[in-house]
Structure 1
Amino acid sequence: MLWSAFRQCSRRTFPHIHVPRRSFHYYSPRRTTATVPPPAPALPLQPETLAQKIGRPSVRNQSIFAILGTCVVFTYAATWTNIETDEWIEKLTHARAPSTWPHTITSADMRNAANFALVTELREGLKNVGIRTEGLGVQTRNVIMRVWATVAQTYLNVTEGKRICWKICLLNVGVWLAWKSKRLQPFMLRNFVHDPLSGRSSTMLTSMFSSRLVLLLALNVFFLDGFGSSSSFHLLKRQEQLPDGQLEASSRLHFLAFFISAGLFAALTSHIIRVKVLYPRLISRLSVASNQRPATSDTWASVLRSAPPTSRLRSFIRSTFASSLPQNPLIPRAGATGALYALMVLTALGFPNAEIALFYPPDYSVPVQWGVGSLLLLDILGIWRGWRFFDHFAHLGGAAFGAVYYVYGPRFWNWLRAGVADPRPEPGSS
């Protein structure tokens, strides 16, 4: 009874909907008579060469770093030289009558005033040492003050160029002491040695002050002390001899800019030659050798570490420790020999009649041009014979920089100082 009532209710509420039926037809795909071409046979994969695996080092970043570094260091030196010169002119002007400015003020007057100020500073330093050592014994205090007075007097008696050379030598000694620390060895190898395959550029600058061997350190100190002061004196005199030469209170920043720029140029020359000339030759020979032996790794360092000698010519002298020396031409380099060659060439051209004395034999001197020319010939011979102990390309690059700077350097320095100088007001103007 309930079911019949539900059916009647559902019929009235939900009407019946008729859905038509559609017939389903299947159509088979048509068969074509065209044939599909067979797939092309796969070409055999060509094995990668050794040069493709390890890539090719670049010289772009190193060139940009050297150029920008030279521009920055010269601009900084010229700016601060102008500032110091203006300060000394103002001091000497107040000490003299206004009518004498600036006609009677010379560069020598400013240097003499700077030396007098240095004397006062050293005397104050000696007085401070005496005050701080009052609690010590009489003998100990006398020894300390005597050593301080001796060092101060020696520092005062030398030229300004030799003072800056001594500071560079102290920096080299400090870096050499850092090499003796085993804890600092990884840091020094990463930051104070220029590796042409590392891709780093800052090591071109830091490697200038790095010497791992005490023999190389002694040579750098000896040549820097001898030729550095003469180069600084030459730059100072050339500045005074120019027709439009400006007053210059100090030449130490000019010399420092020249030294750093020469080192950067020498390092860049060595980097470019080793990467663009020696590297392709070494890779081509290693590619031929890799067909007979399995490759151990795909990195520059691992491949070149076991590289055979690339020089076809043999050295004149064979030593017992020659096998322990590095044989590939891309070994990391450190040292300021490139900048030192620039100093030697500048000295030889600036003072052609000068002579240099040697330690052995005693009391024997040779003309400076003969000595520098002999060293250059020795570097050329080292390149021809394939010697690896010294960086001969950096030596020749530094020598070329020194020769070019001898011709164009003083005028360039004068032009740069005039460009970065502030316009000076006329005397008597408010």
Structure 2
Amino acid sequence: MLWSALRPSSLPRSRSFIYSPRLFTATPLVAPSAVLQTERTLAQTIGRPSVRNQVLFALFGSCAVFAYAAAWTNIETDEWLEKLTRGRAPRTWPHTITSLDMKNAADLALAQELREGLKNVGVWTSGLGMATRNRIMYIWANVAQSYLNVTEGKRLCWKICLLNVGVYLAWKSRRFYPYMLRNFVHDPLSGRSITMLTSMFGSRMAVVLALNVFFLDGFGSSASFHLLQRQDRLPEGQLEATSRYHFLAFFISAGLFAALVSHITHLKVLYPRLIARLSLPSNLPQPKPDTWASAIRTPAPISGTRAFFRSWFPSGQPKLRLTSRTGGTGALYALMTLTALGFPNAEIALFYPPDYSVPIQWAVGSLVLLDIVGISRGWKFFDHIAHMGGTAFGAVYYVYGPRFWSWLRTVIADPSPVDVK
């Protein structure tokens, strides 16, 4: 009776206990398997977020934007073909209509629209003073002339740049900041898909915005011109009145693919490693590397000199956190890659001194190498994984993109009417 009263019956019987008659306490023996069971329970409780919705969104979004672009390209091409052939006899129109003829006609129509716009500005400012009115019309004429002189691809790039500036101004507004934080930042753990698209435009930092505008204005027009040239060189000989829809579809699809690569890498590579590190007890020593891959992930002891340089260029590897992304740098890398492959002998130079030109392949290769180093070092200022995804998209599209675009336009084109007898 006395022994049964002193026995701690509330403790589980499945564990082994050491009984001390002096202290009347029970000390459990925790087996190593219990620690492993705790780790598995934490990982199973938190789980791994699914990437199915994001994959489907990027896939169907790219298909939708390419289908829309191909349909409107066919529509405008048919319209300009009808305008140029209407009322013209073969002797007054001896040569075959080309894509360049339709683009020249579109530029003439744009010039007429800009002239009408200048007249409207003069009517709207008729009530102002002569000096103010002349200054406004002078500014409008210069802007309109600059807009008319550039290529169609650069005009679209300017519009995207204005959109980025507008998004940046919305970030700086206290009223719109909560809305921008919810809808223009892609968080890998949020489970949302639409932010993969909205986060492409604009940035919260002025430096990143300036870099996006600079690269988009420089490489965007070159990439658009390359797509136009490749379309003309195809043996099918498809007419194309405009190339802005093709360029827009390429830009959006490249941004979605880059965001998807970053999203999958964060959730399928970085997130499991973060959970595994959090699951380890703090009092257990770090395991020694037993394979080549684990040896790379395990930081090696460094000297004082290397530690000094690492203090200036720190590694984000020990922190191992998931970061949100903003900005369309992945799409910009796709434009740079397409331009470097399309114009391998081109050189790039800054527009301010020193005016030193660099081969474009060296410049793009250096940026890709910098991203590889950033991924290995765990840098978090830029989304280097998205940069690599954009680079891969640009390289693949350089090889297969023009033929895919020609095939898609053929599929979407309206069939010729059949005569019913």
Contact 1:311/1:385 (<8 A) preserved:
no
CA RMSD of aligned residues (A): 2.9
| Separation of aligned partners in 1, 2:143 and 2:200 | 27
* Correspondence for 2:255: 263
Give the AA of the match of 2:212. Answer: N
* Correspondence for 2:383: 391
Contact 1:348/1:372 (<8 A) preserved:
yes
Q: CA deviation at 1:290?
A: 6.7
* Correspondence for 2:167: 175
Name the CA shift for 1:291/1:130 in 2 (closer, same or farther; >3 Å). Answer: farther
Q: How do 1:275-314 residues align onto structure 2 when only pairs under 5 Å count? A: 275-289=267-281, 312=299
| Separation of aligned partners in 2, 1:287 and 1:348 | 45
* Correspondence for 2:215: 223
Give CA-to-partner distance per residue, 1:374-404, whole Å, 9 cap, x none: 1111111111122111111111110000000
Gaps of 5+ in 1: 1-40, 293-309
Q: CA deviation at 1:55?
A: 2.7
| Separation of aligned partners in 2, 1:291 and 1:91 | 79
Moved more, 282-291 or 54-63: 282-291
* Correspondence for 2:265: 273
Q: CA deviation at 1:316?
A: 8.0
* Correspondence for 2:194: 202
Answering whether residue 42 of structure 2 is matched by residue 70 of structure 1, we say no
Contact 1:315/1:385 (<8 A) preserved:
no
| Separation of aligned partners in 2, 1:265 and 1:111 | 31
| Separation of aligned partners in 2, 1:145 and 1:258 | 36
| Separation of aligned partners in 2, 1:401 and 1:139 | 52
Q: CA deviation at 1:156?
A: 0.4
Of residues 352, 359, 365 in structure 2, which corresponds to 1:373?
Answer: 365
Q: CA deviation at 1:122?
A: 0.4
Q: CA deviation at 1:49?
A: 3.5
Q: CA deviation at 1:327?
A: 4.7
Of residues 353, 357, 364 in structure 1, which corresponds to 2:356?
Answer: 364
Name the CA shift for 1:94/1:375 in 2 (closer, same or farther; >3 Å). Answer: same
* Correspondence for 2:117: 125
Answering whether residue 50 of structure 2 is matched by residue 54 of structure 1, we say no
Gaps of 5+ in 2: 1-11, 16-33, 285-296, 301-305
Of residues 162, 169, 193 in structure 1, which corresponds to 2:185?
Answer: 193
Q: Which has the larger Rg?
A: 1
Calculate the TM-score normalised by the size of structure 2.
Answer: 0.82
Contact 1:210/1:334 (<8 A) preserved:
yes
Name the CA shift for 1:380/1:315 in 2 (closer, same or farther; >3 Å). Answer: farther
Of residues 133, 155, 161 in structure 2, which corresponds to 1:141?
Answer: 133
Q: CA deviation at 1:87?
A: 0.1
| Separation of aligned partners in 1, 2:370 and 2:87 | 55
* Correspondence for 1:244: 236
Give CA-to-partner distance per residue, 1:199-251, whole Å, 9 cap, x none: 00000000000311000000000000000000000000000000013000000
Contact 2:166/2:202 (<8 A) preserved:
no
Give the AA of the match of 2:229. Answer: K
Contact 1:193/1:210 (<8 A) preserved:
no
Moved more, 53-62 or 352-361: 352-361
Q: CA deviation at 1:197?
A: 0.2
Name the CA shift for 1:284/1:171 in 2 (closer, same or farther; >3 Å). Answer: same
Give CA-to-partner distance per residue, 1:105-163, whole Å, 9 cap, x none: 10000000000000010011110111011111111111111111111011001000000
